[in-house]
């Protein structure tokens, strides 16, 4: 693993390795001293062209717990509007000697360009690009699913996950369809037809326009996607008539919550629009793992940085990583 650009890039075994590594990382995080020496002297740059405090501090925490030096580079605007081009920013980062660049960008494919245009040599981690991918989100979702529904081991074979909401604009949905199916789960997407991309029929998942029908299939987990209120206005694309109608047809409320199987969990990548795609009942219920997703995000991102910077996917087994292995044991 040279970069992590897309959940699609991960094989089944690589994905399981990341989850296993994340589990070891998570175990260290219950200790009094959470910091590991693994990435001492390495530099991780968080390059955020888009506001996302949650994702940035998650990566920052992960890198710092591994003793890496962390630099936050918040580039307001982009070459689309004004300011420095992505290329010049990349050349600047190279000059600073970044070992890894964690990039969040509003343009789909921007991390791919960073990794492959020849501008930098660093490992690139995609922290969300446009409407394309957000692979560490999918990894933390898979980690959370595995922990609750598969005793924290192996893959997700046999699980059925229903993802509800604005699939069209969602990098979280794309990443999860790829990763969860790689890990053996079955995915059903639920959305109004306007919020599904043309071409979704080629995805390895089921698609439904009707949430109640989808929930009647008894999914093991329901993942609610954030829906931006602006999408209902004519300027925002006019994707649905009103928030009230959206909630009625696609919101997770108390009634739908009660229709879920007893063991099913409720997930949301955050930030939530309470009252739009998810009611307070659902967000705060016992089966909601939304807050745990956040803490799992740190462990998963530690695992990704560890695997990218401490060596190949086999790094855990090499002598070079013996210290770390002991630290993890």
Q: Which residues bind another protein (CB under 8 A)?
A: 78-80, 85-87, 105-110, 112-113, 116-117, 129-133, 171, 174, 197-203
- The nearest distance, CB 194 to another protein, in angstroms, is 13
Residue 39 CB, nearest distance to another protein (Å)? 28
Work out how close the CB of 3 gets to another protein at its nearest, in angstroms, rounded to a whole number: 13
The nearest distance, CB 66 to another protein, in angstroms, is 29
| Active-site residue list | 54-55, 82, 104, 134
* 3-state SS track over the chain: CCCECCHHHCCHHHHHHHHHHHHHHHHHCCCCCCCCCCCCCCEEEEEECCCCHHHHHHHHHHHHHCCCEEEEEECCCCCCCCCCCHHHHHHHHHHHCCCEEEEEECCCCHHHHHHHCCCCCCEEEEEEECCCECHHHHHHHHHHHHHHHCCCCCCCCCCEEEEECCCCCCHHHHHHHHHHHHCCCEEEEECCHHHCCCCHHHCCCEEECCHHHHHHCCCCEEEECCCCHHHHCCCCCCCCCCHHHHHHHHCECHHHHHCCCCCCEEECCCCCCECCCECHHHHCCCCECHHHHHHHHHHHHHHHHHHHHCCCCCHHHCHHHHHHHHHHC
């Amino acid at each position: 693993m040279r970069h992590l650009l897309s959940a699609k890039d991960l094989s089944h075994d690589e994905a399981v390795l990341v989850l296993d590594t994340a589990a070891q990382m998570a175990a260290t995080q219950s200790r009094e001293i959470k910091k590991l020496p693994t990435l001492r002297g390495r530099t991780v740059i968080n390059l955020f062209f888009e506001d996302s405090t949650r994702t940035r501090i998650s990566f920052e925490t992960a890198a710092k717990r591994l003793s890496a030096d962390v630099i936050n580079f918040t580039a307001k605007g982009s070459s689309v509007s004004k300011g420095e081009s992505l290329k010049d920013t990349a050349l600047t980062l190279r000059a600073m000697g970044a070992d890894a660049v964690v990039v969040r960008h509003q343009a789909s494919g921007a991390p791919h360009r960073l990794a492959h245009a020849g501008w930098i040599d660093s490992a690139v981690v995609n922290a969300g690009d446009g409407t394309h991918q957000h692979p560490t989100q999918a990894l933390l979702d898979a980690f959370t699913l595995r922990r609750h529904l598969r005793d924290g081991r192996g893959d997700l074979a046999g699980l059925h996950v229903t993802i509800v909401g604005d699939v069209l604009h969602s990098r979280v949905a794309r990443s999860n369809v790829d990763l969860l199916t790689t890990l053996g789960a079955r995915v059903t997407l639920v959305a109004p037809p306007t919020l599904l991309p043309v071409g979704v029929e080629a995805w390895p998942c089921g698609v439904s326009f009707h949430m109640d029908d989808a929930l009647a299939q008894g999914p093991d987990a329901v993942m609610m996607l954030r829906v931006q209120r602006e999408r209902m206005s004519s300027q925002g694309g006019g994707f649905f008539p009103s928030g009230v109608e959206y909630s009625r047809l696609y919101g997770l409320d108390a009634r739908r919550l009660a229709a879920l199987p007893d063991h099913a969990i409720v997930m949301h990548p955050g930030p939530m629009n309470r009252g739009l795609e998810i009611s307070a009942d659902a967000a705060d219920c016992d089966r909601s793992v939304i807050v745990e997703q956040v803490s799992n995000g740190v462990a998963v991102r530690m695992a990704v940085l560890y695997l990218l910077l401490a060596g190949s996917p086999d790094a855990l087994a090499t002598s070079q990583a013996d210290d770390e292995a002991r630290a993890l044991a």
